[in-house]
Amino acid sequence: MRIMLLGAPGAGKGTQASFIRDHYGIPQISTGDMLRAAVQAGSALGMAARKVMESGGLVSDDIILGLVQARIVEADCQRGFLFDGFPRTLPQADALKQAQIYLDVVIDIQVPDEDIIERLSGRRIHQPSGRVYHVRHSPPRVSDRDDITGESLVQRDDDREAIIRNRLDVYHAQTRPLVAYYEAWSRSGETGAPRLIQVDGTQSVDAVRQQLQQVLG
């Protein structure tokens, strides 16, 4: 099964990706992991990507697509794969389609922006251990103190409201249009058209997981 996950930052894609990967025995493919592996292996695409990254530029869609094409023919992808963070834009989705790399299912995990802001901005971290709290949903026994050590908790920069809103703006401008893209393709009946499944991400983690299990089969 070839699956792609869509959803805003903080929608719960990472948690559900782990479930899908383990349940279906398919690899989770991220462009970041592919880039690092290609650079480390010293492949032609890896060297091209390395030059771009060292100059501070963005790796082109052509290089990313080449990495994807090389990755999905590896043995562990015979039963399928899960795309994590790719395609991220309409040009990338078009390039994937033109290369005839088809998906079976596109899953859109839907969570309103204000819910995401509340989820992420409320997180507090105990840095030495990595323990995570939430000021509303799982608060520490003593405000801003780790339950085990009593040490201070911190709010990561990425969890500050201004940063979250900026990330959501980028998502809505660049990635959210993919939902309409895949919805239109799904309805078209064309060759390679995927199913688009939309899931309410405001449910509990277990409820979302059960819904995915039902629709994926």
- Is there a domain that residue 40 lies in? no
The residue behind tokens 């401008």 is 173
Task: Name the packing angle between helices 44-54 and 61-71 (round to 10°).
Answer: 140
Which has the closest alpha carbon to 181: 92, 104, 114? 92
Q: Which domain holds residue 197?
A: 2-26+79-216
d(CA 105, CA 29): 15
- Bridge partners, residue 110, by sequence: 200
**50: in domain:** no
pLDDT attached to residue 38: 81
Give the tokens for residue 140. Answer: 């520490």
Our answer to whether residue 13 is catalytic in this structure is: yes
The pTM assigned to this predicted structure is 0.84
pLDDT at position 187:
93
pLDDT in tens, 4-38: 999 999 999 988 999 999 999 999 988 878 888 88
Judge whether residue 67 has pLDDT over 70: yes
Residue 23: phi, psi to the nearest 5? Answer: -70, -40
> What's the confidence (pLDDT) of residue 58?
67
Mean pLDDT of 56-60: 72
Choice among 2, 13, 119, 124 that is catalytic: 13
Q: What pLDDT is recorded for position 216? A: 87
Query: Which one of 2, 88, 119, 124 is the catalytic residue?
Result: 88
Q: Is residue 127 part of a domain?
A: yes
Does the annotation mark 88 as catalytic? yes
Distance CA 146, CA 142 (A): 8
Count of domains forming the chain:
1
Q: Is residue 21 flagged as an active site residue?
A: no
Query: Is 47 domain-assigned?
Result: no
Catalytic residue among 71, 123, 124, 209: 123
The CA distances from residue 82 to 2, 55, 158, 192, in Å, are 6, 30, 25, 16
Average pLDDT value for residue range 154-159 = 92
- Structure tokens belonging to residue 18: 């782990």
Q: How far apart are CA 23 and CA 192, in angstroms?
A: 24
For residues 127-140, give the mean pLDDT: 95
Name the DSSP letter for residue 197. E
136 is catalytic: no
126 strand-pairing partners: 131
156 domain residue, yes or no: yes
Please, what is the Cα angle at 110 between 155 and 59, to 5 degrees?
Answer: 70
CATH number of the domain residue 210 falls in: 3.40.50.300
